[in-house]
Amino acid sequence: MKKTMTLLVAALLSTAAMAQRTQKPVLHAKNWMAITGKPLAASSGAAIFHAGGNAVDAACAMLGATSTMWDALSWGGETQALIYNPNTGKVIGVNALGVAPSGATPQFYTEKGMEFPPDLGPLAAVTPGTPGGLMTMLAEFGSMSLKQVLEPSIQLASGYPIEAQTANWLEVQKENLRKWPYSRAVFLVHQGEREAPEAGEIFVQKDLLATLNKLVEAETAALNAGKSREEAIYAAYDRFYKEDIAAEFARGCQEMGGLITKEDLANWKVHLEEPVKTTYKELEVYKLTTWVQGPVMLQALNMLEQMDVGSMGYNSTAYIHALYQVMNLAYADRDFYYGDPYFPPEEPVKGLLSKEYAKERLKEINWERNDTLVKPGDPYPFQGEQKNPFLHYIEQWSNKVSHVSPSIHKDPMQTDNFFAGTTSIQAADAEGWVVSVTPSGGWIPASIAGSTGIGMSQRMQSFVLDPRQNPYNVLEPGKRPRATLTPSMVLKDGKPHLSFAIQGGDAQDQNSLQFFLNMVEFGMSVQQATEAADFLSYQMRNSFGGHEIKPGYLTLNQNVPPWVRNELNQKGYKLDFRERTSGPMNAIYFDRNHGSMWGGSSNYGEDYGIGW
């Protein structure tokens, strides 16, 4: 009997040990943590911490470095962030998403025969947001100068050994890059069969280097004139958006047929705003509001809180079906009700995030089969006395979108492209500052604007031109498109508990939701949760290209057992399998019992973390 018990205990311990194994180790730190999409960029954050900077300084350095390295984004893209301020105990939202230029109207694009704005080229560009977002975060919440924070980016622009992933993607996209003279000059540096740089080759960006140095020059001149640290950073901000950099950016854009003017750049501004939140059990979960898809995860959590998720079993048929159906409902609401909150009509956020609305939506779930005809709900009764002005559009709603435009996101079942664009940044320090960022835009193949060295955003494609598709997200000059970019932050007892973000377009809140549940419901470590066997739905309107939808399509991890596959087939799902399905998730867990941080960085791509 004793021998049997010993063997049983050994077997259980072995099983537990196997369950804890991950392809990458968990990161441990006491003083600071820096995680992002490239090893060199993570090193830039570490360098800032070693020089005495706080988490905001480090996040800004990593943002600049990833933009310089074209880590599926560039300096002309957009920045979305959540910042926990330990001095106030508040979470701040940073809205640095660009806007449609003054000449961009639905009529402009429909007259060109387009059902949606294009996904590539100058006519896909909104105004750049990342430079303004970086400088605003640094001025308001950082401690260092812009010169200090940009030093890693300046060194990278001077020349760095380019990684195989980026170099090879440039080669794949060379036909597109040839269309734009400034992109061709920067990226296609060789003659012959291979025109892009080779892996490990020193990649130099002289024009971008000059632009970054101009920002430092503006800051230095302001400091020499007696301006404060913050005022000097905003002097650099003005040089980018109102002076010679803005003039060249607008000129270069218009030369290639784009619409952005110097006035568009001068009129754009960053919004520091209050994020939205919900509670899940004892946790407060924070997201950016309807100008991105962040509330999707909050809506899903409100519905899942009504169930006993943990008892379903991890990646069981019941669990996968429940999450898929909940996401169907949340994403249908996203596709119809989300848009720029600074433009009318006003989004029904209170209703969408109501716990009572979540209960009402749950009544629509078919527990036996996937419902391919899910429509947006009606949150207005949960707003108070308001009436829904767009019910007539919902009556006409269909999951069939006829147009399919050329796109780097051609097939939503190709998850490599589904995860294209964007990176993520996580930073935290011993003082309590925590930063979660999901920057994006201006990814390869980007059209570079003049001699600025800056690739323009492609975010215009996320607008719709027909109010029947989404009356809150119709293209309008000065308006932000509803983007997919969605950092996350969780507080427990008023203190940071989790901070996480992921790249991946419409998959972001799917993976983020599963990451959260992996830790909260299934007891995974932060690293286990970043490498977990997530699944992906395509039953929402793709935010890119032709806004296609694939009802019932489901990507599973290849380790999902046969009986679960069979049961899902019987529920009407069309299955696809991948070796890695977690997406490139980066995260920090705050261990209050021991006063330490645990960092997780997915094994999906090139994401990398450093802690101390």
**pLDDT reading at 15 higher than 50:** no
Would you say residue 177 lies in a domain?
Answer: yes
Same domain, 298 and 243: no
Residue 53, helix vs strand vs coil: coil
| Cα torsion angle, 391, 296, 506, 510, sign | negative
DSSP-assigned letters across all residues of 118-132: -SSSGGGPPPP-HHH
Query: Where residue 18 falls among pLDDT bands split at 50, 70, 90?
Result: very low
Would you say residue 415 lies in a domain?
Answer: no
Would you say residue 414 lies in a domain?
Answer: no
Same domain, 490 and 442: no
Residue 540, helix vs strand vs coil: coil
Same domain, 67 and 160: yes
> What strands lie across the sheet with 553-557, from one edge to the other?
536-537, 553-557, 574-578
DSSP-assigned letters across all residues of 91-111: EEEEEE-----TT--HHHHHT
Residue with the bigger pLDDT between 5 and 470: it is: 470
Same domain, 36 and 121: yes
Same domain, 85 and 214: yes
Would you say residue 320 lies in a domain?
Answer: yes
- The pLDDT, as a whole number, for residue 20 is 54
pLDDT (tens digit, 9 = 90+) per residue, 461-516? 999 999 999 999 999 999 999 999 999 999 999 999 999 999 888 989 999 999 99
**pTM score of the predicted model:** 0.94
Whole-angstrom distance, CA of residue 485 vs CA of residue 499: 15
**pLDDT reading at 407 higher than 70:** no
Residues 6+ apart with CB under 8 A from 456: 76, 122, 124, 125, 128, 253, 258, 260, 442, 446, 447, 448, 449
pLDDT (tens digit, 9 = 90+) per residue, 572-594? 999 999 999 998 999 999 999 99
Would you say residue 591 lies in a domain?
Answer: yes
Would you say residue 468 lies in a domain?
Answer: no
pLDDT (tens digit, 9 = 90+) per residue, 121-142? 999 999 999 999 999 999 999 9
Same domain, 487 and 453: no
**What CATH number corresponds to the domain at position 556?**
3.60.20.40
Whole-angstrom distance, CA of residue 365 vs CA of residue 572: 14
Would you say residue 412 lies in a domain?
Answer: no
The continuous run of DSSP H or E covering 2 comes out as helix 2-20
Same domain, 186 and 281: no
Same domain, 174 and 94: yes
Same domain, 39 and 111: yes
Residues 6+ apart with CB under 8 A from 306: 358, 359, 362
Same domain, 40 and 184: yes
pLDDT (tens digit, 9 = 90+) per residue, 52-95? 999 999 999 999 999 999 988 999 999 999 999 999 999 999 99
Residues in the chain: 612
% of the chain surpassing 70 pLDDT: 93
Query: Where residue 371 falls among pLDDT bands split at 50, 70, 90?
Result: very high
**pLDDT reading at 569 higher than 70:** yes
Q: Which domain holds residue 526?
A: 277-401+483-611
- The pLDDT, as a whole number, for residue 418 is 47
Phi first, then psi, for residue 165 (nearest 5°) are: -60, -50
Overall average pLDDT of the 233-248 stretch = 98
- The pLDDT, as a whole number, for residue 400 is 65
Query: Where residue 421 falls among pLDDT bands split at 50, 70, 90?
Result: low
The continuous run of DSSP H or E covering 223 comes out as helix 206-224
Looking at the structure of the chain, the number of domains it has is 2
List of E strands, 493-566: 495-502, 536-537, 553-557
- For residue 91, what are its two tokens? 């979470």
Same domain, 266 and 284: no
**pLDDT reading at 401 higher than 90:** no
Would you say residue 473 lies in a domain?
Answer: no
Query: Where residue 420 falls among pLDDT bands split at 50, 70, 90?
Result: low
Same domain, 561 and 448: no
- The pLDDT, as a whole number, for residue 411 is 41
- The pLDDT, as a whole number, for residue 1 is 45
- The pLDDT, as a whole number, for residue 152 is 98
